[in-house]
Structure 1
Amino acid sequence: MLTGSIVALITPMDSKGNICKISLKKLITYHMQNNTKAIVTVGTTGESSTLTPEEHHYLVLQTIDFSQGKIPIIAGTGANSTGEAILLTKKIENTGIAACLTVTPYYNKPTQKGLYQHFKSIAESTNIPQILYNVPTRTGCDILPETVIKLSRIHNIIGIKEATGDLSRVYQIKKKVQKDFILLSGDDNTALDFIQLGGDGVISVTANIEAKKMATMCDLALNKDFSNARLINSELTPIHKALFLEPNPIPVKWAAWKLGLIKRNNLRLPLTQLSKNSKNIINKVINKSHIIM
């Protein structure tokens, strides 16, 4: 099972705005050394919406190559067009990918029936395990628990990244799905509570710069040692909050650069550089948390 601390990996870029292989390899090595359980590449944090289809495919293949089979790789393959999502998915078949993370189709505002048919069509086009991704604040589209439950009956839909921050969703979904259906939080700030209510882990932004603590916190929580998990989470909470002072991944990419995990802090428009005020706040949080790479 894909459980525990899973990183929503940033996409490092060089001085020309191209994918930086050197920094990518360094990031993957960092996560393999610090007990991250899996890597999500080309997700929201990975700036998937600004990458070309060719870059998308290249980044997935490079991530698989650099991981050397030592850590599962999950690829973001969602799109607001069902046909495009199927093409992105089929293109990475037979690459060794562990699963696909498929976001709800943004902008279209489909009905629950439309969402069901969208994910069903993608799942039926491939044998790659599928993880649903629900993030209404980004997409303007909310896949409701009853639709998730219905989709969970499709053999290769294996879980959901639930990023609403609504903790009641854990119980609503968990009570009506099979025991092996994976429930992952998409919200670092409530991830510990999510696990305590029956979730299986988190796809984390914070893990980009605090991989070991996130992994340890999740492991403790999954082993029901919530008192020690909360001690670690109390140290992580200021970081969770600081990394969302501006739209993700603007803050976390700057923090990763500041800590030397990536060579350059380059983003693609329409994302812009972190403001001076946010830099000062994040810098103070990093120093207070004694994050050293």
Structure 2
Amino acid sequence: MTDIDFSGVFPAMVTPFTEDNEIDTETLREDAQRLETAGVDGLVPMGSTGESATLSHAEHVEVVEAVVDAVEDVPVIAGTGSNNTAEALDLSQQAADAGADALLLISPYYNKPEPQGMYDHYEQIADTVDLPQIIYNVPSRTGRNIAVDTAVDLAEHPNIAGYKAASGDLNRISEVIERTRDAGVRHPLRRRRHDVARSRRRRRRRDQRCCQH
């Protein structure tokens, strides 16, 4: 697994469309290059901000390929999550084949898996795709919080490299940090601006922004 420096600002990218409702790859590439020139530390296509849940499988891959091809010197963390483990595996492998540097994997949504099912989902992807992987906990969108014990157990896997915390529960986030320090998992990537301000007071540094545009 390649070691990626996740410190700094990694904007969650929007997905532009043409008037015919096709992916506007030209504008997407321009946006990626503009952000790289502006000095961001990495890019995150196909997250929630990129409307990943509403795109087809082929469109998803098209976006990741376009962003990877557009930039030169910043890592790309491709969103490849799904509530379907087989689809998440396929998207993750295709992102790896396209040259993505890491993966962002939202937890299975709608189905509300129990902790063991959640663990099995992430473990299967981590066992199969040899890229750094960030598990993404956003219960307001998925309907299920990733249990702290599950996050801690997953942290032992060599391909699990980080935890994106978007629950708004700083006590839960702090517990994950404290219990995963020895596993080498990066501190959580954070989403909301008011959470970022409070987190900075707790001396944490890594941010993923959704308002960079």
**Is the structural similarity TM-score above 0.5?**
yes
Counterpart code for 1:19:
I
Post-superposition shift, 1:39? 0.7
Q: Whole-Å Cα distance in 1 between the matches of residues 205 and 166 of structure 2?
A: 14
Q: Secondary structure at the match of 2:208?
A: strand
Structure 1 runs of 4+ off > 4 angstroms? Answer: none
> Is the counterpart of residue 73 in structure 1 residue 76 in structure 2?
yes
| Residue 40 (structure 2) aligned to one of 36, 50, 53 | 36
Which shows bigger deviation, 17-26 or 40-49?
17-26
Q: Deviations over 1:48-87 (max 9, x none)?
A: 112111111111111001012x111011110001111111
Post-superposition shift, 1:198? 4.4
Cα distance change of structure 1 residues 36 and 181 upon mapping to structure 2, 3 Å threshold: same
> Is the counterpart of residue 205 in structure 1 residue 210 in structure 2?
yes
Q: Whole-Å Cα distance in 2 between the matches of residues 120 and 60 of structure 1?
A: 23
Q: Deviations over 1:195-216 (max 9, x none)?
A: 4324341221112x2xxxxxxx
> Is the counterpart of residue 83 in structure 1 residue 78 in structure 2?
no
Structure 1 gaps of 5+ residues are 210-293
Cα distance change of structure 1 residues 198 and 117 upon mapping to structure 2, 3 Å threshold: farther
Equivalence for 1:49: 53
Counterpart code for 2:63:
L
Structure 2 gaps of 5+ residues are none
> Is the counterpart of residue 20 in structure 1 residue 24 in structure 2?
yes
Equivalence for 1:190: 195
Q: Secondary structure at the match of 1:131?
A: strand
Post-superposition shift, 1:23? 1.4
Equivalence for 1:97: 100
Counterpart code for 1:125:
T
The 5-angstrom pairing of residues 148-227 of structure 1 reads 148-178=151-181, 180-182=184-186, 183-207=188-212, 209=213
Equivalence for 1:139: 142
In 1, are the aligned partners of 2:25 and 2:63 still within 8 Å (CA)? no
Q: Whole-Å Cα distance in 2 between the matches of residues 142 and 170 of structure 1?
A: 12
Cα distance change of structure 1 residues 6 and 21 upon mapping to structure 2, 3 Å threshold: same
Bigger Rg, which one: 1
Q: Deviations over 1:144-200 (max 9, x none)?
A: 222111100000000011001111123201111136412111223211322432434
TM-score by length of 2: 0.92
Equivalence for 1:275: none
Post-superposition shift, 1:135? 0.5
TM-score by length of 1: 0.68
Q: Deviations over 1:96-140 (max 9, x none)?
A: 211110001000011111111111111111101110001000110
